[in-house]
Homo-oligomer: A and B are copies of this chain.
Amino acid sequence: MSIGDVSKRVLLGRKLRSSQLGETLLPKRIALPVFASDALSSVAYAPDEVFIMLSLAGASAYVWSWKIGIAVAIVMTAVVASYRQTVHAYPSGGGDYEVATVNLGSKAGTVVGSALLVDYVLTVAVSISSGAQYAASAIGPLNGHEATFATALVIVLAALNLRGIRESGTFFAIPTYAFMVAILGMCAYGLFELAAGTLPKVASADLDMSAEPGYGDSMTTFALIFLLARAFSSGCAALTGVEAISNGVPAFRRPKSKNAATTLLLLGAIAISMMLSVIVLAKQMGLQLVDPDDVDRLTLNGQPVPDDYDQHTAIAQIAQAIFQDFSPGFYFVVTVTGVILVLAANTAFNGFPVLGSILAKDGYAPRALASRGDRLAYSNGIVFLAVMAIILIQIFNAEPTRLIQLYIVGVFVSFNLSQLGMIRHWTRHLKTERDPAVRRRMYRSRVINAVGLTFTAVVLVIVLITKFFAGAWITILAMIVFYILMRAIRRHYDNVNDELAADEEDKLLPTRVHAIVLVSKLHKPTLRALAFAKATRPNVLEGVYVSVDAEATNRLLEEWDERNIDVPLKVLHSPYRELVRPIVEYAMEIRKANPRGVVSVYIPEYVVGRWWEQLLHNQTALRLKGRLLFAPGVMVTSVPYQLRSSELAREREEREGVWVRPSELRMGNVPTRSGKDRQIQK
């Protein structure tokens, strides 16, 4: 193993072989955690945002908290019901993008695509920022350094994904089930204490909270409604990630659609219970939470809290109170919450390149993204996602309260178009379907999707009205940019296809082949190139040498004679020491003299195996090939000569096998082994 190899191993880890994954379609008990982390993790911040928004009107507004919670739960129920229709109708895993494209046309599909791309960035930024808050509530010294910590987390996550995390069911199952047990267990115990009348108060219950000037008792009804609407739209962050299962149907065990729909129902039920319990407990335990930039609205016994007072999240405060005599319980809750938030961010790291490859297949993104195993394209996606998320984290100082203003616009745009598409889907199928039982099911599905559309449309309008100036305009702007870019890429591919479409004259054979072999020295690669060129029996064959130095030229001519090489050697003089231009001009001249012929340029190349060796060689060959591509009627043949060190490169490649993308598990692409590809002969 070479040194370069070892250092790559250390930095990026051993690459994964396809065969290491093994055949595993997911049973429901594993599929739930695999797809749930994004949706469930929002319970870690969504309730907080509801309380923070309500706090503008003072502690008395907290009576609205559980009503808002129920409103969010109703919307979630509608969305879950809608997506259960989608997984039945579109079991291929294309998700919202496919539904919108098929039913509403490519423009709607592109809108969904750009909405989802933007949303992945925000998922990373929000989840990691919230995770940093949890870390700070458990580890005191992190207080006030959340942005730095969050940035470091994103970098670590990106590095892990560049390495290729080996994902497995267990990888998701343990933390996700631990999170469910922790939150639901804690809430159940809390609700039991509430019933028993022994529910303790949280730390911030001792504080007094004043309303923001202009809010509070003097508020108009209109202002109150607006405030409640803002709180509601922040709470709707709990809905993000629900759509994940609709992208992952192919990974489920058979019957795929049915299992996926059941898992979705389960996910919805768990998410709603968690959210409502946390809101009720927080309210009953006297939680006081304000915007972190507004801590001066909090007072303790009439004294303002210190400037560096750091509020902890609702779940952290509840856990602290409930487990006040049992600190491991508190640390367990906070740790698994932090872990699930990181897992949610990781979901985005997986989903972003997958979406990229789907868009690429349809011509909306560079085609390289579509080819499996193009590690470079995959890596670019990860780096892009990480950089954008870090920029957001830095700009908004890793405060979920501020980032949440940008969030969920994308998700709800995609929800809406998807539901609208589903309605069109059923309407179209109803036109041809004759079986009354099936027709009845279709009517029912259409009603469910229509209800879903109504709810998500209302939410989208509320979100746009309440959040546009608070940050959502950034999201919309980014979506527009992505949209324009994707349309331009598609237009380019279409133009190229038109230009490339074959017609009859393309089958004309060139009349003659004029072969030239580039000679720089008389060494093995040159002799091999001459032999190969001769084997193709061209009409004309000559060696071509660019002379920049009379002495070297004479030496070469002598050697050419001595070795009795039966190919004429043409010398091109280049007084200004250029190599590429004289060759290109010579090839074009030959072509001009015989426009129906073809010029075949043979370039002897030697191949080295180490990256630093590659820096030292073949720059001229590369540049020459690049230039000759632009010369019409010229074809360029590389005749490689493998040096000993090139074996290293081949061995390394074979050892490493095919690279597996971390997202394969979720895509249902689980090859058994990288065995031989079968071949058929036509």
B-contacting residues of A (Cβ < 8 Å)? 18, 366-368, 371-374, 377, 489, 492-493, 496-497, 499-503, 506-510, 512-513, 521-528, 530-532, 534-538, 557, 560, 563, 565, 568-582, 585-586, 598, 600, 602, 605-608, 613, 615-617, 619-620, 623, 625, 627-632, 634-644, 646, 649-650, 653, 658, 669, 671, 674, 676-682
Contact A650 B630 (CB under 8 A): yes
Main secondary structure of the interface of A (DSSP, over half): mixed
A-B pairs with beta carbons under 8 Å apart, 7 shown: A366-B616, A371-B579, A501-B523, A509-B534, A571-B681, A573-B680, A636-B638
Question: A527 and B506 in contact (CB under 8 A), knowing A372-B577, A619-B374, A677-B573?
Answer: yes
- Taking the closest CB of chain B, its distance from the CB of A5, in whole angstroms, is 15
The answer to whether B496 and A608 have CB atoms under 8 Å apart is yes
Tell me if A506 and B493 are in contact (CB < 8 A): no
A570 touches B679 (CB 8 A): yes
The 3 closest A-B pairs by CB, nearest first: A368-B619, A506-B527, A500-B523
**In contact, B632 and A642 (Cβ under 8 angstroms):** yes
Provided the pairs A500-B525, A619-B367 are in contact, do residues A607 and B585 lie with their beta carbons within 8 angstroms?
Answer: no
Compute how far the CA of A573 lies from the CA of B405 in the bound complex, rounded to whole angstroms: 49
CB-CB < 8 A to A653: which residues of B? Answer: 627, 630
What is the CA–CA distance of A374 and B681 in the complex, to the nearest angstrom?
Answer: 47
Complex Cα gap A44–B608 (Å): 50
CB distance from A251 to the nearest CB of B (A): 16
In the complex, how many angstroms separate the beta carbon of A528 from the nearest chain B beta carbon? 6
Q: Is the CB of A640 within 8 A of B630?
A: yes
Shortest distance in angstroms between A301's beta carbon and chain B's nearest beta carbon? 46
Q: A538 to B500: give the CA distance in the assembly, Å.
A: 26
- Our pick among B489, B537, B631, B646 for the contact of A630 (Cβ within 8 Å) is B646
How many copies of this chain? Answer: 2
Q: Which of these, B500, B578, B629, contacts A640 with CB under 8 Å? A: B629
Q: Is the CB of A509 within 8 A of B522?
A: no
Evaluate whether A568 and B682 lie within 8 angstroms (CB atoms) in the complex, with A502-B527, A507-B527, A523-B501 already known: yes
- Give the contacting residue for A575; candidates B502, B627, B671; CB below 8 A: B671
A172–B449 Cα distance when bound, in Å, is: 78
State whether A372 touches B615 (Cβ < 8 A): no
Chain B residues, Cβ within 8 Å of A366: 615-616, 619
Query: Once the chains bind, are B643 and A499 in contact (CB under 8 Å)?
Result: yes
A573 to B658, CA, bound (A): 16
- Chain B nearest CB, measured from A16 CB (Å): 13
Given the contacts A608-B496, A638-B629, A669 and B510 also touching, CB distance less than 8 Å: no
On whether A371 and B577 interact (CB within 8 A), knowing A509-B535, A510-B531, A625-B638, the answer reads yes
Cα(A574)–Cα(B18), bound, Å: 14
In the bound assembly, the distance between CA atoms of A540 and B637 in angstroms comes to: 18
- Asked if residues A677 and B574 are in contact (CB atoms below 8 Å), the reply is yes
Bound Cα distance A637, B634 (Å): 10
With contacts A616-B492, A619-B374, A630-B607 known, is A573 near B679, CB below 8 A?
yes
Give the distance in Å from the alpha carbon of A44 to the alpha carbon of B678 in the complex. Answer: 76
- Do A578 and B372 form a contact, CB below 8 Å, given A536-B513, A598-B532? yes
Most buried by B among A508, A571, A605, A679: A679
Q: Are A649 and B677 also in contact (CB < 8 A) when A366-B615, A506-B527 are?
A: no
Contact A371 B571 (CB under 8 A): no
Shortest Cβ distance from A72 into chain B, in angstroms?
Answer: 40
Q: How far is the CA of A512 from the CA of B525 in the complex (A)?
A: 19
